[in-house]
A and B are shown apart, each in its own frame.
Chain A
Amino acid sequence: MATMAEKILSEHAGREVKAGQFVVADVDLAYAQDGTGPLAVAQLKALGRRGLANPEKTVFFLDHASPSPRKELSNDHATLRSFAEETGAVLSEVGEGVSHQRAAESMVKPWDLVVGADSHTCTLGALGAFATGMGSTDVAVAMAMGKAWFRVPESLMFNLHGRFPEGVYSKDLILRIIGDIGAAGATYKAMEFTGPGVRSLGMPDRLTVSNMSVEAGGKTGIFPGDAVTKEYLREQGREEDYREIKPGDDAVYEREYDYDLGELEPMVAFPHTVDNVYGITHKKCRDVAINQVFIGTCTNGRIEDLRVAAKILRDRKCHPGTRLIVTPSSKKVYLQALEEGLIGVFIRAGGVVTSPGCGPCVGIHQGVLGDGERCLSTQNRNFKGRMGNPEGFIYLASPATAAATAIEGRLADPREYV
């Protein structure tokens, strides 16, 4: 019997494979974004093959510089548009949303093998897929040939028990895990999340956890395909895509960890590494003034995240010293938030709502920090320079912690608001 990673790679390699083996496997979906796509296109041209293996399973997302703030990036967008036009590849236009969110909403199903030229492709593991980030060249080859090579990874098991207390979310769980095992704690490994506690995690919660598996160095972060997965696919009108997946009874895990969700508290990652994590009640979190709060990204820009933040911010105002930026992760999320009146809540609280996409996450445009400024973000990375200025400081937390912090103007415990 096998781990979920071994099962999926075996199916796509057409033979039984085990951790440590090298395989060539068929890929179900290959994608790139506007930062990695142009180089993938150049490599596809260098390969000199005609056409793509599966044009309808090849996607370019214009999400990082969206809308484009400079002519160089507009030209990159034009390159991707015309390449998609020529080859029949799918183009996800400016304003449609972040690649991983869009892929979760309509493209990926359990047992899929997904490669993306973006490190957070691992997000899709939440759907019971093996999804991993690679560079432009690997993904270009996968687009051309429909295949990629893999070393089958060893897996780490994360056994979850219980349920989250009020005010604690899956972001806190994954920050806690990364704090415990370190930013290289899962390097090369597949992280697999199982146990009775998994059932209480909805698909949005799972997407957040899988998204950040790469911040522990993981190759992917896989959840079982279960009733939650089935329900998520049903809501999208594609229940027929459902297939159960779970670890084999005697699957071999390199290491097992146990987490009781009921014992967790809100967590904050301090600059400049994701594993620099403290509980919100730690004295380090006292009186940390925050200049900017950013709610969004492939980690926490989903409708459920906006609901949590809006519930806290409703009829309240942001602290005068703190600006709030909200970026829905996709057009679908944006429209839903409009319908539910959440956008109005953010704006009335003093916030700015930007077009769907990556927003300020990677420092290309919008929300760039000033020298010495501190930002609390719901994103996944707080590396020096990440938000466009190496003199800025980035803290990571859940949307609830972000909303509470926007109100108080300093790191705040969301449990006082929920």
Chain B
Amino acid sequence: MSVSMSMSMGLKGRAWKFGDSISTDLIAPGRYFHLRSNLKELAKHVLEDARPEFASEVREGDIIAAGENFGLGSSREHAPRIIKLAGVSVVLAKSFARIFYRNCVNIGLPVVICDTDKIREGDEIEVFLEEGVVKNHTQGTEIRFTPLPGVMTRILQDGGLVAHIKKNGGFKLA
């Protein structure tokens, strides 16, 4: 998947609320380790141990709004991949674990660090990555955030790290 992403368009969807410390074990449980080379099947279990109904009810474009340290734990890139595969357009959290954050950008799943406290389950949310604004259409409010560092924005815009390298013939940090 190397579709370039237009960063100026809003990403719009319903919010799913999650709490603090959602680990990669909760996102992509170890007991489905054997499905890692079959991401479509693995995606049927995405976030199963945090919210069992998530995988069957999530819709294309939906947004995750989580608390602190989202994605802590293992380096398994399968975790962000199945979140993306399930249709989630962007993950908002108060903070992210480092490897998970980087993995999201590498596979072209937008991530935003912002205050998610006021977002409620089911709110209609629109995220403008370049402007650094989250609009909550249900509540008529706005949350501002600092856009990603330049290098990450470029990787994301190029559609992930592999597409970035192919396009630029190497890393293009500046």
Contacts and interface: CB of A to CB of B under 8 A. Distances in A.
A119 B75 contact: yes
Contacts of B80: 135
A79 B38 CA distance: 14
Contacts of B26: 383-385
A65 interface: yes
A357 B55 CA distance: 32
Contacts of B95: 184, 187
B84 to A, nearest CB: 13
**Which residue of A65, A73, A121, A390 has the most chain B CB atoms within 10 A of its CB atom?**
A390
**Which residue of A118, A145, A149, A389 has the most chain B CB atoms within 10 A of its CB atom?**
A149
B49 A149 contact: no
A116 B74 CA distance: 12
Nearest to B23: A383
Contacts of B170: 24, 145, 147
Interface string A128-145: 000001111110110001
Given A35-B33, A48-B166, A134-B75, A184 B69 contact: yes
Interface in A61-81: 64-65, 70, 72-73, 75-76, 79
Interface string A46-66: 111000000000000000110
Contacts, number: 146
A24 B173 contact: yes
Interface residues of B, number: 43
Nearest to A38: B37
B53 to A, nearest CB: 15
A273 interface: yes
A388 B76 CA distance: 16
Interface of A: 22-24, 35-36, 38-39, 43, 46-48, 64-65, 70, 72-73, 75-76, 79, 116-119, 121, 133-138, 140-141, 145, 147, 149, 151, 183-184, 187-188, 214, 217, 219, 273, 362-364, 368, 381, 383-390
The 4 closest A-B pairs by CB, nearest first: A135-B77, A135-B103, A72-B34, A363-B30
